Amino acid sequence: MMNVISHNSRTILFFGKGIWLGVSVKKFNFIFIFCLLIAYHDFSYCNTGGWHFYISSGNSNFNGNYAGVSPRDGTLPIKFELPSQVFGRVSINNANKCTDKVKVNNYAVLNLENSVKFRFNGAVYNANLAMSDSDLSIIKNENYYYENPGFVTILSNGYYSDVNCMKNNSYQSFENRIKMPGSIKYKIEGEIPFGVHRGSIVIGKLGYYGEPTPQAYWEKYTKSLSYGTILNLNYIINITNSCAVVLPDKIALTHDSLTTTNFEDHNMAYQYHIQCQSPVPVNFSLTANNTVSTFEDGKIKLKLPFNNQGVESLLVLEGYDPMLKGKNNIAQIKVGSGGELLTLSSTLIKKLDVVTPGTYSAKAVLEVWID
pLDDT of residue 108: 96
DSSP letters, 145-207, are EEEETTEEEEEEPPEEEEE----TT-EEEEE------SEEEEEESSPPPSEEEEEEEEEEEEE
Q: pLDDT value at position 161?
A: 82
Q: Is the domain of 343 the same as that of 252?
A: yes
**For residue 44, is pLDDT > 80?**
no
- Among 148-162, 247-261, 340-354, the range scoring the smallest mean pLDDT is 247-261
> Average of pLDDT values for 261-289?
90
Residue 97 gets which letter from DSSP?
Answer: G
Q: Which CATH number is 214's domain given?
A: 2.60.40
Residue 114: pLDDT band (50, 70, 90) is very high
Cα angle 104-92-159, degrees, rounded to a multiple of 5: 20
Q: What percent of the chain has a predicted confidence (pLDDT) above 90?
A: 50
Residue 231 in any domain: the answer is: yes
Q: Strands 229-239 and 59-68, how do they pair?
A: parallel
Residue 129 — pLDDT band, cuts 50, 70, 90?
A: very high
Residue 359: which domain range? 243-370
Q: Please identify, among 241, 274, 300, the residue that sits at the C-terminal boundary of a domain.
A: 241
pLDDT at 5: 40
- 303 with 182, same domain: the answer is no
**Residue of 76, 183, 59 lying closest to 120 (CA atoms):** 76
Residue 89 confidence class, pLDDT cut points 50, 70, 90: very high
Q: Which residue has the higher pLDDT, 80 or 10?
A: 80
Residue 2 lies in a domain: no
Structural domains in the chain (count): 2
Let me know whether 364 and 318 are in one domain: yes
CA distance linking residue 67 with residue 237, whole number of Å: 6
pLDDT of residue 38: 35
Residues 181 and 221 placed together within one structural domain of the fold: yes
Mean pLDDT across the chain, nearest whole number? 84
What type of residue is 289?
A: N
303, β-bridge pairs: 314
Looking at the structure, tell me whether residues 215 and 281 fall in a common domain: no
Q: Do both 211 and 100 map to the same domain?
A: yes
Q: Are 74 and 106 in contact (CB under 8 A)?
A: no
11 assigned to some structural domain: no
Q: Are residues 94 and 236 both part of a single domain?
A: yes
- 63 has a pLDDT exceeding 90: yes
Q: Does any domain span residue 187?
A: yes
What average pLDDT does range 330-350 have in this prediction?
A: 90
Average pLDDT on 69-81 reads 86
Which of 329 and 135 is assigned the larger pLDDT?
Answer: 135
192 and 279 assigned to the same domain: no
Give the Cβ contact number of residue 366 at 10 Å.
Answer: 23
Q: Which of 260, 30, 4, 286 is nearest to 120 (CA)?
A: 4
In a domain, 4, yes or no: no
**Same structural domain for residues 229 and 313?**
no
Q: Which residues contact 28 (CB under 8 A, 6 or more apart)?
A: none
Of 194, 220, 241, the one marking the end of a domain is: 241
Banded pLDDT at 74 (limits 50, 70, 90) = confident
C-alpha 33: how far from chain center:
50
8 Å CB contact between 205 and 111: yes
Has residue 45 been placed in a domain? no
| 10 vs 343, more confident | 343
Q: Which residues contact 267 (CB under 8 A, 6 or more apart)?
A: 345, 346, 347, 348
* Range from 57-66, 256-265, 324-333 that averages highest in pLDDT: 57-66
Place 256 in a pLDDT band, splitting at 50, 70 and 90.
Answer: confident
How far is residue 41's CA from residue 306's CA, in Å, rounded to a whole number?
59
- Looking from the CA of 286 toward its CB, the CA atoms found within 13 Å total 23
Measured CA to CA, the distance from residue 336 to residue 350 in angstroms comes to 40
CATH number at residue 284: 2.60.40.1090
Q: Which of the 8 DSSP states describes residue 71?
A: P
DSSP 100-121: TTEEEEEEEEEEEESEEEEEET
From the list 7, 8, 16, the residue with the least C-alpha distance to 251 is 16
Angstrom distance (rounded) from CA 32 to CA 253 = 82
pLDDT tens digits for range 193-234: 889 999 999 999 999 999 988 888 889 999 999 999 999 999
- Can you give the pLDDT at residue 173? 94
Q: Which residues contact 123 (CB under 8 A, 6 or more apart)?
A: none
Alpha helices in the chain (DSSP H): 133-142, 218-222
Distance CA 309, CA 311 (A): 6
> Is 60 exceeded by the pLDDT of residue 49?
no
Report yes or no on 21 lying in a domain: no
Asked if residue 156 and residue 250 are part of one domain, the reply reads: no
Q: What is the mean pLDDT of residues 318-323?
A: 88
As a whole number of angstroms, the distance between CA 106 and CA 25 comes to 42
Residue that is last in its domain, among 197, 212, 241: 241
pLDDT at 165: 87
Of the ranges 29-33, 169-173, 239-243, 302-306, which is most confident? Answer: 169-173
Average of per-residue pLDDT across 35-50: 38
167 with 257, same domain: the answer is no
Residues 166 and 103 placed together within one structural domain of the fold: yes
Residue 30 placed within a domain:
no
Give the rounded percent of residues in the chain with a pLDDT score beyond 70.
87
Q: Is 256 helix (H, G, I), strand (E, B) or coil?
A: coil
Residues making up the chain, counted from first to last: 371
